[in-house]
Every structure is written in structure tokens, then in C-alpha cells.
Structure 1
Amino acid sequence: MEELSEALKAIERELNFAKKAYRASVFLYWAWAMPGVYLLAQILSKYAGISEGNAIQWLSLAAVVGFIAEERKTFRRVIQLEEALGHIEETSRGYVLAQVIVWPLSALIASVYTENEGLWLLVFIGLGLFLLTGVEFIFIGKRDWKTALAGVILLSSTALYTGFGYAVMAVAFAFSLTAYLHLKGAMRE
């Protein structure tokens, strides 16, 4: 009986690690996708004659579709693990709605207060991450300082803005740092 109890505790630890790794995977995806979109757009512009703006739009759309597909698969795996252990937590519709509203609201605010694409990107993502941190605190009481840090890095990077490439580099840095911090925290527990 004691062995069974220990085995269940080990499985629970792995579930908690998987959930934290899931949080990191979101940031890891965008840490490679953002510079990837920018780099591929530059290549397509130079060698295929496609305008940089069109290439960025289509590649960004492809990145978002890929992200949604990956998120669904990962989310389902985490739900299956929680079901197996009897740890199902009901997510309120208000919480999900607030998470969804954050991004159009951030896009609107960024559009009103910025004049170019690079600054828009920094404000949109930085403000979005910062607002998501607030949504998580309000609805589930979680203080996610790692995600808030990424938002602060991006918003403070607007003062140093030199061009779109700088914005992409800042986003990749903020996302990779946040993913690293989430994984490091998961490994400590």
C-alpha cells in the first residue's frame, strides 16, 4: 500500500512538472516563431520578390494557426493527466473570456498610441502579457511574476526602439527568458 502511495505522489509531481512545462512551451513557441517569421519574410522579400509586409502577414497567420494547433494538443494532454488523477479544475467562462479580450484590447491600445509596426509589436505583446498577468491574479489568485516580467521588458524596450528587427529581438528575448524561468521553476519543485 505504501508503494502505491509513493507511486501516486510521483505521478502527481510529474503532472505538476508537465503543467509548468506547458506554460513554458507557449513562450518557447513564440521565441522561435517571431524571429522565424521576420527572417523568412526578409528571405522571401529578397529572393522571391514578395513584399516584406505581405510575407510577414501570411507567415504570421501561419504561425498563429500552428500555435493554436499545438496549444490544443498540449492542453488535451494536460486535461487527460488531470482526469486520470482526479484533479479536474473547472475553468470559469469569465476567466476564458477575459483572456480572449486581452489581445484585441492590447491591439487597440497599441494602434492608438504607436505610429509604426515595431513599436506596435512591443506595446501589443508587452501590454497583452501584463494584462494576462492581471487576469490570472483576479480570477485564480495566481501571481505570475515571470509573465509580468516579459511584459515589463517589452514595454520598457519601447524607449530604446531602433527598428522592427530590434522589436523582434526584444520579443524573442523576453519570451525565451520567461520560458527559461518557467522551466527552471518547474525543475526546482
Structure 2
Amino acid sequence: MTNKLRVLQWYMRTKYFRRFRDERALMEWQERQLKRHLRFISDYSLFYSYYLQLPSTNGYSAKELLASLTPIDKRVMMDHFDTLNTVGIQKEEAFKLALSSEETRDFSPRMGTMTIGMSSGTSGNRGLFLVSDDEQSQWAGIILAKLLPHGLLAKERIAFFLRANSNLYNSVQSGKIRFHFYDLLHSLQ
């Protein structure tokens, strides 16, 4: 479930506080974020901690760390979904939930605190995505900060024309912001 206070925090951070004085400051911030992420996946993803043996982030630049990783594509990601994700969700269960949501057009079911979504499969290989409550709040705050021309206090209407809805997209709804999902599998009327 979206935490409105966290959405507001991410909105404010994105809209008013996350400014970089120059390109170097941006690059340094990106370096810190990437190293933090690599430490996280090394600690919590069996795929990266066991199979790829990510080196310690100490003494290496983010560019060097990335170069040390074996590139993976969507097929490899889906083949190793169970050991790649950091929250212990099994691919088979997630696919069942996502397929059921697509068949019933009810996109509200979740697995614990995780929203499960599925890619359209245009590459010939359908993928899954997992979004935590905190990630959902972060996404909503950042999207609102970037897309609302008159800020949070103005009344706005947002329309999404998509193949499938998600709890993630609905997280932007509030008293002032009306969100509407238009299902591409239904007639536009």
C-alpha cells in the first residue's frame, strides 16, 4: 500500500531538493548509488552473491564493478528469477498471480507486501517485475514531481492507456489527483 507521507517526501525531494551543482556532483552521486545497490544485491541476491561472485566495492569504481559482472539478458533473468530477486518470491507463484490478474482484469492482488506485474512479452519472453510498498511510494512521488505542471495542490487528471494495470500505477491517486486506467484490451468507448 502506498504511504502518502513517503510519496510526499519523494515528491519534495525530487521537485525541490535533489539538485546537482554540476556534472561532477551528479556523477559522484550516481557512483555512490550504484555502489550501494551493488552491495545490496551482493548481500541479498543469491544469484549475485553465489553465482557471479561480485567483488567487494572497496577500492573499485562503479564502472570497474559493472565491468566485472557478466551481462545478463531477460531470458537469463527469468531463468534465475528465484535466486535473482531479493525477497524470496518464486517465479511460478508470481506468474500464476500475474496471469490470474490479467485474466480477471483485477490487478489488486499482491504477494505479501509486493506488487507483481508482468511485461507484455514483445521479445517473445514474458518477464515479471516486483515492486515493494516503499518503491511504489518512491515511484509515485518522483512521477508526480516530474509530471504535474501545477504541483500537488492543483487538481489534475492522469490517464494511463496500458495493456495491464498495476497497484503501482494506482498509487498516484489522491483527493486532488484523479487517475484513470484505460484497458487496451477493452473498447475505447
Q: What TM-score, normalized to structure 1? A: 0.24
Higher relative contact order (CA 8 A, sep 6+): 1
